[in-house]
Amino acid sequence: MNHNTKTHLSSSLLRLECTLNQSNSTSNNIDYTQLALDIKKWGKELGFNDVGVSDLDLSAQEPGLLSWLANNYHGDMSYMAKHGVSRARGGDIQPGAIRAISARMDYLPTNAQFSIILKQPDHAYISRYALGRDYHKLMRKRLKQLGDKIAQHCENFNFRPFVDSAPILERPLAEKAGLGWIGKHSLLLNQQAGSWFFLGELLVDIPLPVDTKPKNECGKCVACIKICPTQAIVEPYIVDARRCISYLTIELKTAIPEEFRPLMGNRIYGCDDCQLICPWNKFAKLSVEDDFQARDNLDNVTLLELYAWDEATFLKKMEGSPIRRIGYECWQRNISVALGNAHYDMTITNALSYKLGAISTMVDEHIEWALTQQNLKKPQQPTIFSPKNKRLTERLIRSIEKGLPRDA
Ligand code: B12
Ligand code: SF4
Ligand code: SF4
């Protein structure tokens, strides 16, 4: 096919002359409204659950972003501070880009067993997004396929796919693209699909028509703020990452501050509590991706079984999993804390003692802490369970069993 390209912008800026890959035309005006509809259709064919378009103007987010950074809510995530305000300026990271195509991919595995695992302090609770294969690769590949498909229909088209990888505020972009609203827990959620989904985007240089931001449906609800075990949602819509169990177990590479350890319970990688309590997750869809289903029984496994892995086993078993990224040392650190939070059991104290001196001084310090917790819980000792946190977890479990029976 002979691709002749003439370019001009029509008055509405929605039509640009470009080559169309149509059997009956070699050169044609592109109908950007139609192209946007096609992109959404192709996105769904590629396994995305929703696709929308926004411009890149995130200037309204700049004050909030700067205030978040000034409060040091990013903690040790230096990559957040490094890019500063450019996170709200998509055009800076991809010169020429004028639109973002945001895409949602649901990750809730079948048989999530949320409450079953939260109820058993000797079992490992791993955030349900991390039970299967790493989402970054899978989503980036699909986004690239979407970009290639658009390129077949539009010459001189430039795009760049991102999933977490770009210094850009993905949730505000996706909100503008109509994929949902930002809830008080700061995550994007949607009336039809709850919040168990990842976001990714293509930054593109074509003037697609933009979608509209949906209404925020949180209303007077503050359930996520109240249930957070560490009170990390310091104000509606604002998360102090330094208090968030997701940060403490995944991003933090040093010692976990002692005040948070008893509050972590058996959560050894990420945390789902603020989403689990959210009434809109009744409407969450199960993922159809095999890659997001649990592997190695990670959805129902004891802490001791995982603790027994040596580094080679950890690296082997975690190939392709997002968990591998935290490394063996943090893995052992997190499980040590959870073992300290489990009921007293001599098998646990033996396992902890056995690991003393085996990994690093940082892990040893967590083991010592865990041994102290275990010893304080010996039958003749008074309990040191944080009563508030225990009540919160029990409340969460009741709410899951009642509100999310399919996933409980
Ligand atoms: C850093 C990061 C984290 C950090 C910080 C979380 C956070 N809320 O920012 C930590 C490690 C804690 C984290 C945890 C999780 N994350 Co995360 N995370 C990111 C990442 C890489 C960047 C987010 C970011 O830019 N934060 C910066 C702050 C400034 O953004 P913000 O919270 O929206 O801030 C606004 C408000 O707080 C407000 N504000 C703040 N201060 C002030 C002050 C004033 C005066 C005003 C007016 C406003 C205001 O304005 C800010 C700017 O808009 C994104 C991917 C991406 N590139 O976007 C994934 C991402 C947000 N994470 C995701 C997920 C899944 C999670 C977890 C659920 C994982 C888990 N199960 O453990 C948890 C959820 C915790 C939670 N409730 O947020 C998904 C969310 C998908 C969705 N449905 O929304 C994303 C989009 C990754 C992805 N590609 O799918 N995450
Ligand atoms: S992920 Fe857990 S710790 Fe973080 S804000 Fe939500 S409930 Fe709180
Ligand atoms: S729990 Fe309530 S406040 Fe929090 S995100 Fe869901 S609807 Fe909004």
Higher pLDDT, 212 or 86: 212
pLDDT digits (tens, 9 = 90+) for 195-229: 999 999 999 999 999 999 999 999 999 999 999 99
Cβ of residue 196 lying under 6 Å from some atom of ligand 1: no
Kindly identify the ligand whose nearest atom is closest to the C-alpha of 399: 3
In a domain, residue 32? The reply is yes
Cβ of residue 322 lying under 6 Å from some atom of ligand 1: no
Question: Which of 146, 172, 204 is at the close of a domain?
Answer: 204
Q: Which residues participate in catalysis according to the annotation? A: 164
Q: How high is the pLDDT of residue 385?
A: 53
Parallel, antiparallel, or unpaired for β 197-204 and 99-106?
antiparallel
For 350, the token pair is 């033996």
User: How far, in Å, is the centroid of ligand 3 from the Cα of 275?
Assistant: 8
* Nearest C-alpha neighbor of 90 from the set 35, 159, 184, 25: 159
Q: Whose CA is nearest to atom 1 of ligand 3?
A: 278
Phi then psi dihedrals of residue 34, to 5 deg: -65, -40
In a domain, residue 212? The reply is no
Strand (E) positions, 255-334? 267-269
pLDDT digits (tens, 9 = 90+) for 30-50: 899 999 999 999 999 999 999
Residues 41 and 146 in one domain: yes
pLDDT digits (tens, 9 = 90+) for 338-373: 999 999 999 999 999 999 999 999 999 999 999 999
User: How far, in Å, is the centroid of ligand 1 from the Cα of 239?
Assistant: 7
Q: Whose CA is nearest to atom 8 of ligand 3?
A: 218
Average pLDDT over residues 250-256: 98
Do 92 and 59 meet the contact criterion of CB atoms below 8 Å apart? no
Cβ of residue 65 lying under 6 Å from some atom of ligand 1: yes
- Token pair 């056995």 in the structure block, residue: 354
Confidence of residue 95 (pLDDT cuts 50, 70, 90): confident
Confidence of residue 384 (pLDDT cuts 50, 70, 90): low
Question: Which of 204, 235, 250 is at the close of a domain?
Answer: 204
Cβ of residue 277 lying under 6 Å from some atom of ligand 3: yes
CA angle 311, 258, 271 (to 5 degrees): 65
Residues facing 22 on adjacent strands = 25
Residues 105 and 239 in one domain: no
Amino acid at 357: G
Closest atom of ligand 1 relative to the 58 alpha carbon: 53
Lowest mean pLDDT among 17-21, 34-38, 241-245, 322-326: 17-21
Q: Whose CA is nearest to atom 1 of ligand 2?
A: 271
Residues 251 and 398 in one domain: yes
Q: How high is the pLDDT of residue 278?
A: 98
Ligand 1 pocket mutation pick from 57, 68, 197 by most atoms within 8 angstroms of CB: 68
Confidence of residue 337 (pLDDT cuts 50, 70, 90): very high
DSSP string, 284-304: PPPP--GGGS--TTTTS-BHH
User: How far, in Å, is the centroid of ligand 2 from the Cα of 231?
Assistant: 8
Residues 186 and 87 in one domain: yes
Angle between helices 346-355 and 327-341 (to 10 degrees): 150
Do 270 and 330 meet the contact criterion of CB atoms below 8 Å apart? no
Cα gap 155→152, rounded to integer Å: 7
Q: How high is the pLDDT of residue 24?
A: 28
Cβ of residue 241 lying under 6 Å from some atom of ligand 1: yes
Higher pLDDT, 12 or 273: 273
Confidence of residue 13 (pLDDT cuts 50, 70, 90): very low
Cα gap 239→274, rounded to integer Å: 11
Average pLDDT over residues 268-276: 98
Residues 194 and 154 in one domain: yes
Kindly identify the ligand whose nearest atom is closest to the C-alpha of 263: 2
Burial (0-12, 13-18, 19+ Cβ within 10 Å), 64: middle
Q: Whose CA is nearest to atom 25 of ligand 1?
A: 169
Cβ of residue 133 lying under 6 Å from some atom of ligand 2: no
Closest atom of ligand 1 relative to the 167 alpha carbon: 57
| 3-state secondary structure at position 62 | helix
Average pLDDT over residues 65-84: 92
Structural domain harbouring 277: 223-403
Q: How high is the pLDDT of residue 170?
A: 96
Q: Whose CA is nearest to atom 50 of ligand 1?
A: 64
Lowest mean pLDDT among 60-69, 91-100, 173-182, 291-300: 91-100
Residues 193 and 59 in one domain: yes
Cβ of residue 39 lying under 6 Å from some atom of ligand 3: no
| 3-state secondary structure at position 9 | strand
Q: How high is the pLDDT of residue 18?
A: 39
Cβ of residue 256 lying under 6 Å from some atom of ligand 1: no
User: How far, in Å, is the centroid of ligand 2 from the Cα of 24?
Assistant: 55
Q: How high is the pLDDT of residue 349?
A: 97
Question: Which of 204, 234, 262 is at the close of a domain?
Answer: 204
In a domain, residue 7? The reply is no
Cα gap 97→99, rounded to integer Å: 6
Residue 84 has pLDDT above 90, yes or no: no
Mean pLDDT of the chain: 90
What total number of domains does the chain contain? 2
In a domain, residue 184? The reply is yes
Average pLDDT over residues 101-127: 95
Cβ of residue 187 lying under 6 Å from some atom of ligand 3: no
Cα gap 313→310, rounded to integer Å: 5
Residues 171 and 247 in one domain: no
Residues 187 and 252 in one domain: no
Cβ of residue 223 lying under 6 Å from some atom of ligand 1: no
DSSP-derived letter for residue 8 is -
User: How far, in Å, is the centroid of ligand 1 from the Cα of 240?
Assistant: 10
Alpha helices in 46-194 (DSSP H): 62-70, 78-83, 90-93, 114-118, 135-153, 170-176
